[in-house]
Amino acid sequence: MRTVRDGAWVVARPGPVDAGPGPLEWERRPPPVPGETEILVEVEACGVCRTDLHLAEGDLPPRVPRCTPGHEVVGRVTSAGAGVREFAVGDRAGVAWLAGVCGHCRYCRSGRENLCPGSTYTGWDRHGGYAGFVTADARFAYRLPEGPPAEELAPLLCAGIIGHRALARAELPPGGLLGIYGFGASAHLTAQLALARGARLAVFTRGAAARELARELGAGFAGDSYDPPPEPLDAAILFAPVGELVPVALAALDRGGTLSVAGIHLTDIPALNYQQHLFQERTLRSVTANTRTDGHAFLTEAAHVRPTVRVNRYPMHRADAALADLAADRVTGVAVLLAE
């Protein structure tokens, strides 16, 4: 009988998740052996991120053969390399998207390790957490508190961290009106962070259930993706991987406003009209991964804000179903795989 400890899901044939037999395949393999600076983590929970969907469907070409997705991993350290000082066996650890950097390029030296040309990523450059066990460089893993359930901590490790960075990149003024386009895993956490800081919130998303969740969490306005805002936005974040929403969000900005695009993948952006979309010092910015400083700052803030995490639970053996539900917009909040 297959159990979560047997091995891992792998991307065997990138393609649509709703077309049989699907891109994922279960592969039996023994637990990996941690290297000198690595920890071996037995997976308790792993969040299902839209980046995993992009990898499975081929929007992001796999960088290792038969790659195991998953970069929102919560588990226990079961062994560690001789050079590890950050963790001991039995510690609760989080394994996130950023897996390694060179440490000596101009970006790393200036505190911008997210832009390191040699950066590597969990579930893309190295096997991730859709598995029984995962290894991680201890210097890039996070110590996690003992109290919260694993399924509530897991989404914080990417959805939360990248939302924190996207909010910083949006440069929302104190008390300003933030527009959020798309309201999935990252957006529903970022919204709560912004509200806790005193922001006002307008949410634009096509899903009725997502709009209802936005209102429950405190949004003053929740409409369709293409609806006009109740008033010009001071800043906006685009979470939906839909390029045609870029001019929509830019046009909704007030003078001097910034649109922050939070995804790793985006469909093509239509032609922009300078007067309508960019004039009056409107700014368009991308968000690229995160630094470890971002991660620690967000997890510290989240411990005080304690955001509500709307979790859709799936047993690990249903990873393919979780991705299919995410692709079909059947997930409100976050999807999380649980060890069996």
Residue 40 belongs to domain with CATH number: 3.90.180.10
CB 113 within 8 A of CB 121: no
For residue 269, being part of any structural domain is answered with: yes
What integer is the mean pLDDT of 229-251?
A: 98
Same domain, 125 and 173: no
Q: What is the pLDDT of residue 230?
A: 96
What integer is the mean pLDDT of 122-145?
A: 97
Distance CA 234, CA 232 (A): 7
CB 312 within 8 A of CB 331: yes
What is the extent of the structural domain holding 38? 4-157+310-338
pTM: 0.94
For residue 146, being part of any structural domain is answered with: yes
For residue 296, being part of any structural domain is answered with: no
Q: What is the pLDDT of residue 3?
A: 54
CA distances, 153 to each of 1, 41, 95, 300, 322 (Å): 29, 15, 11, 13, 18
Give the mean pLDDT of the chain: 96
In the chain, what percentage of residues exceed pLDDT 90? 95
CATH number at residue 224: 3.40.50.720
Per residue in 10-53, pLDDT (tens digit) is 999 999 998 888 999 999 999 999 999 999 999 999 999 999 99
Alpha helices, DSSP H, located in the chain: 50-57, 106-109, 150-153, 159-170, 185-196, 208-217, 245-252, 292-305, 319-327
Per residue in 55-112, pLDDT (tens digit) is 999 999 989 999 999 999 999 999 999 999 999 999 999 999 999 999 999 999 999 9
Q: What is the pLDDT of residue 2?
A: 47
Per residue in 149-207, pLDDT (tens digit) is 999 999 999 999 999 999 999 999 999 999 999 999 999 999 999 999 999 999 999 99
Number of domains in the chain: 2
Same domain, 86 and 174: no
Same domain, 146 and 17: yes
- Nearby residues of 322 by Cβ (< 8 Å), 6 or more positions away: 48, 312, 314, 331, 335, 337
Phi, psi (deg, nearest 5) at residue 298: -65, -45
For residue 295, being part of any structural domain is answered with: no
Which of helix, strand or coil describes residue 81? Answer: coil
Which of helix, strand or coil describes residue 108? Answer: helix
Same domain, 111 and 124: yes
Q: What is the pLDDT of residue 4?
A: 62
Four-point Cα dihedral 120, 121, 126, 127, nearest 10: 170
Q: What is the pLDDT of residue 204?
A: 98
Which residue has better confidence, 2 or 15? 15
Read off the tokens for 139: 């210097």
Read off the tokens for 289: 């991964």
Same domain, 277 and 318: no
